[in-house]
Amino acid sequence: MKLLKTRSFIAMLGVIALAACGADTSVGPAAGDAEILPPPIPEGVETVDFNAEADPQRADITSDEESAQAAPRQTIYWGVKEGEALSLMWEDLMPEGSEEALLREYEQFYAMLEKRYAANTTTLADARNPYASIAEGSELDFMPQLGTFDTVDDLNGEHVRIPGYVVPFTFDSSQEWDEFLFVPYMGACIHTPPPPPNQIIFVRSAPATEVKDIWAPYWLEGTLSTEKTENDLGDTAYSMSLISLDPYPIP
């Protein structure tokens, strides 16, 4: 039996991040850094809502609002044979209650940001669109990485696969990387603020993996570890030793 969720948390997180990007906030490498300047997102390309394209090996059993307080969310897997990867979705990387706590953190942050922006408006036009008055590189032109390093410890050392997008640390013509980030929505960390640390996977690949299109979704497969890493693009709560990176089929 499979009950559909009333909302997609990752889709909501992507909307929040895109809104922040449109608010002229900055994150990650400094603008104009020629060595790691990311390419623009191709016109017309949209991020995939992986929850809407749920994998058949997986079923989410979620209670309604009245029973949610009494029964925690459970994810049940079946049909996974020995040696096969356990299929995950991004919510599976977050401990119980983390989604609600993160949304509250975003709400509090944006409420604070609106007050700071409003306090710096000087004209009627600025008051109507306070974001437009923020100078690039100013103390108000920022977007921190929110969330925590809290992990689901039972996943440590598991052979898993998860759909998402590649975020390289450098952008050059080789298109091969032995280290990169893996995130739940397109453009995260380079064109939008980073997801929380427990929604980013730091991937190590030996030998280096060729990624022909960073705007396309992929299935990432490998051994997952609960490991904290820190970097300029986005800190992570998980790492993975890569086994394979395969295109994610889009209907």
b/e for 199-212, b at 16 or more Cβ within 10 A? bbbbbebeeebebe
**Using CA atoms, how far apart are residues 219 and 38, in angstroms rounded to an integer?**
22
Question: pTM here?
Answer: 0.73
Q: What is the DSSP string of 164-199?
A: EEEEESS--TT-EEEEEEEESSTTBTTTBPPPPGGG
Q: Per-10-residue mean pLDDT for the chain, 251 residues long?
A: 39 55 40 58 88 57 39 49 88 92 89 76 56 55 84 96 95 87 93 92 96 95 97 96 94 69
Say which amino acid occupies 194: P
Q: Taking Cα atoms as reference points, which of 153, 154, 182 lies closest to residue 243?
A: 182
pLDDT tens-place string over residues 126-166:
555 555 555 555 555 567 899 999 999 999 999 999 999 99
d(CA 148, CA 53): 27
Under 8 Å between Cβ of 228 and 217:
no
Amino acid at site 88: L
The CATH number of domain 9-94+147-247 is 2.40.50.870: yes
The DSSP output letter for 5 is P
Instruction: Report the share of the chain in percent with pLDDT over 70.
Output: 64
207 preceded by cis ω (within 30°)?
yes
Query: pLDDT tens for residues 214-244?
Result: 999 999 999 999 999 999 999 999 999 999 9
